[in-house]
Structure 1
Amino acid sequence: MTAFPKTSALMKRGTEFLGSEYAILCGAMSWVSERGLVSAISNAGGFGVIACGAMTPELLDTEIAATKALTAKPFGVNLITMHPQLFNLIEVCKKHGVTHVVLAGGIPPKGSVEAIKEFGAKVIVFAPTLALAKKLLRSGGDALVVEGMEAGGHIGPVSTSVLAQEFLPELSEDHLVFVAGGIGRGEAIAGYLEMGAVGVQLGTRFACATESIAHPNFKKAFFRANARDAVASVQVDPRLPVIPVRALKNKGTEEFTAKQREVAAMLDSEGLEMMEAQLQIEHYWAGALRRAVIDGDVENGSLMAGQSVGMVKEEEPVADIIAQLMSQCEAALDRR
């Protein structure tokens, strides 16, 4: 028997796929989604995901081993497709028998999906359009995350509610689709499950959990913020296709605009290649995030947050957050 029978029934395909009690994924947040938070989420019945971000293979190796020491429950690893050592990172996942690999940040390079599936892991992909979603699922993606622009971090241009209406009727019967972006309460989860999603992904809601290593200053900035404080970055140069990033507005968001101008100038004067230009931007974000999350510099660092930040009011244990979400979802389904 489960305490949440209606929710569990709608999440059944998702929980069977993930191997977790609840089909609630934690979005991979660089510097935040590390061993402590990931293991806490998995131990509480959700599905934690390590944010590899700009980690070297050696660092990822250490992080996976440390997470396995803290939980016997399943968890995943999020890899950025443009990482120059992507295939080395996949080998690290293979070494540890990682069960689920999330590929984010662009179209997976040739051979990467096959390399992951070769050692028996499941591949979770992101897609901003329905056509690309179908292509990635045909090419070996086992599940899809549909993430709307309300999310924190790197975002697309379309809202979660519109994407859900577009993707779920077309895909949910034959494929596993998780919905993400701006989800802060269980009532929203109920709606997406009823539309055909097999589960959801949340990041912002977990960023300030008791088990999160984020600096107290970082957490306080979240507690003070409301939805309209989480703004998308501006693209300065059309030749530099920088994926917009949603974060709390501060000096750091202004500095990012200056960084884009600097990289654009290097494209002009130094013949910088586009891939290298984009990597420079990614490294900027990794450093800016670290300043905020680890050092507590909330003025100059990057406070990546989704628009659900207004629902984050205090530090809470991960288990309590998941229990609240499941209770709210079940109550909403009961009222139907």
Structure 2
Amino acid sequence: MADARARLDRLWSRGTAFLGTQYAIMGGAMSWVSEMHLVSAISNAGGFGVIACGAMSPDQLAAQIAGTQRLTDKPFGVNLITMHPDLLDLVRVCLEAKVGHIVLAGGIPPGPAVRAVKDGGAKLITFTPSLALGKRMVRSGADAIVIEGSEAGGHIGPVSLTVLAQEILPHLRDVPVFVAGGLGRGEAILAYLEMGASGAQLGTRFAASSESIAHEKFKKFFIQASARDALPSVELDARFPVIPVRGLVNEGTRKFLEHQAETRDKFLAGDVTKEEAQLLIERFWAGALRRAVIDGDVETGSVMAGQSVGMVTKVQPVAEIIEELIAQAVAALEDRAAP
């Protein structure tokens, strides 16, 4: 076992050195879920927690960072959405609080934000959906890259992690690359490490952990769900684009389709303009994620979840989840070494 554990440590040594952690396991940034309690729990268990800033104001983010620092003395990061109107102020808040790693997500990071992160001495982590953009991110200053497959929960791209890993891992060696999307077991993490990944990012399994502030109904919905229940949102009419979001199918999912149809009919009847119709569709889910996570409305709320939700079988402490992942990876290595 010692040899297998040492082998695992070597495989993700680049990731652990970059993050400053015992294990190269990052927590996915999930709005309303990835707050101080879950983030500190992941970091205290040897992983790397990441605060999901989402739509927070600078003051709200400062409070979350301070709260996390009270709960852990281990490294953690902050995920900022590039489209946030106060992005530069949010970067400033992170730097003033001595946050060592800043993740810029949700689009190509603007130059001023990248420069602010780099000039402030923090390490910059970005996402890429392709090899070409990943190389461009590195040239622009990214210190590490996350490649997230369509198996992930929440906002997703069109390509699976299996394909992204084959496209990117053999060719992007300048910085550590972390894999994400659909990961629920240690053997899978090990496979990507052996392909060249430096670590992994998981969200769905941590969302249903004991330390997650998500409502008990939210966690129970995860436990009852299978991978086939976590589907992307459906676009009814190409004239009104819908950003794909993966979540558990519920009454809200069905009502969203009806809402799109009704809104399209209003547009065709001349009752609303195209722009008004698009806004009506986009606003359907306003507040729906909070309703699901905080209020426990799993019927009409947005229950974002990755396809790994089928591997969530019970509510577990974060430390137990991480220990389980490590044990699975080590056991796989031991099996390969057996005569």
Choose 1 or 2 for highest CA Rg. Answer: 2
**Is the 8 Å Cα contact of residues 53 and 286 (structure 1) preserved in structure 2?**
no
Deviation at 1:195, TM superposition (A): 0.3
1:151-207 deviation per Cα after TM superposition (whole angstroms, max 9, x unaligned): 101111111111111110111x32210010000000001100000000000000111
Kept after mapping to 2: 8 A contact 1:156/1:243: no
Structure 1: distance between partners of 2:239 and 2:122: 36
Q: Which amino acid aligns with 2:327?
A: S
Match of 2:273 among 249, 269, 274: 269
Matched-pair contact (CA < 8 Å) for 2:187–2:332: yes
CA contact (8 A) 1:54 1:83 kept: yes
Q: Please give the alpha-carbon distance, in whole angstroms, between the structure 2 residues aligned to 1:51 and 1:68.
A: 15
8 A contact 1:57–1:88 mirrored in 2: yes
Q: Give the match for residue 232 of structure 2.
A: 232
Alignment of 1:249-264 (within 5 A): 249-257=249-257
- In the TM superposition, residue 78 of structure 1 has moved relative to its aligned partner by 0.5
Aligned residues: 330
**Contact persistence 2:150–2:161 (CA under 8 A):** yes
Q: Which amino acid aligns with 2:309?
A: V
Deviation at 1:256, TM superposition (A): 4.0
Equivalence for 1:34: 35
2:303 corresponds to: 303
Distance across 1 between alignment mates of 2:36 and 2:119: 26
- For residue 188 of structure 2, what is the amino acid of its counterpart? A
1:113 aligns with 2:114: yes
**Worse-superposed segment, 236-245 or 117-126:** 236-245
Shift of 1:111: 1.2
With over 3 angstroms needed to count, the CA separation of the structure-2 counterparts of 1:57 and 1:240, relative to structure 1, is farther
Tell me which residue corresponds to 1:221. Answer: 221
Question: Residues of 2 paired with 1:215 and 1:100: CA distance?
Answer: 29
Distance (whole Å) between structure 1 residues aligned to residue 55 and residue 285 of structure 2:
10
How is 1:1-336 mapped onto 2 (pairs within 5 angstroms)?
A: 4-171=5-172, 173-238=173-238, 240-257=240-257, 269=273, 281=282, 285=285, 287-336=287-336
TM-fit CA distance, 1:234: 1.4
Counterpart of 1:129 in structure 2: which amino acid?
A: S
Q: In structure 1, the residue corresponding to 2:170 is in which secondary structure?
A: helix
The Cα of 1:335 is off from its aligned counterpart by 2.1
Q: Is the 8 A contact 1:126 1:145 kept in 2?
A: yes
Ranges in structure 1 where 5+ consecutive residues have no aligned partner: none
Is the CA contact 1:145–1:178 (under 8 Å) kept in the aligned structure 2?
A: yes
Is 1:30–1:286's contact at 8 Å kept on the other side of the alignment? Answer: no
Find the residue that maps to 1:170 and give its secondary structure. Answer: coil
Instruction: Give the structure-2-normalised TM-score.
Output: 0.91
Determine the C-alpha separation between the residues in 1 that align with 2:146 and 2:181.
10
What secondary structure sits across from 1:253 in the alignment?
helix
Distance 1:95 1:186 in 2: 36
Q: How far is the alpha carbon of 1:236 from its aligned partner?
A: 3.7
Q: CA deviation at 1:241?
A: 4.6
> In the TM superposition, what is the alpha-carbon distance from 1:271 to its structure 2 partner?
5.4
Task: Write the distance in 2 (CA, Å) between the matches of 1:135 and 1:236.
Answer: 34
Q: Deviations over 1:268-309 (max 9, x none)?
A: 73857x9xx69x94x765611100010001001111000010
- Mapped to 2, the partners of 1:257 and 1:127 lie a distance apart of 30
Q: Cα offset for 1:30?
A: 0.6
C-alpha separation between the residues in 1 aligned to 2:273 and 2:75?
48
The separation in 1 between residues aligned to 2:257 and 2:85, in whole angstroms, is 24
In structure 2, do the counterparts of structure 1 residues 144 and 260 end up closer, same or farther at CA, with 3 Å as the change threshold? farther
Shift of 1:253: 2.0
Q: Distance in 2 between matches of 1:260 and 1:60?
A: 34
Q: Distance in 1 between matches of 2:293 and 2:318?
A: 18
Alpha-carbon contact 1:52-1:80 (below 8 Å) kept: yes
SS in 1 for 2:111: coil
- Change in Cα spacing, 1:66 to 1:300, as seen in structure 2 (3 Å) is same
CA distance in 2, matches of 1:242, 1:108: 22
Distance 1:284 1:24 in 2: 34
Whether the 8 Å contact between 2:4 and 2:333 is mirrored in structure 1 is no
Offset, 1:56: 1.1
Q: Tell me how far apart the structure 2 counterparts of residues 39 and 286 of structure 1 sit (CA, whole Å).
A: 28
Q: CA RMSD in A?
A: 2.4
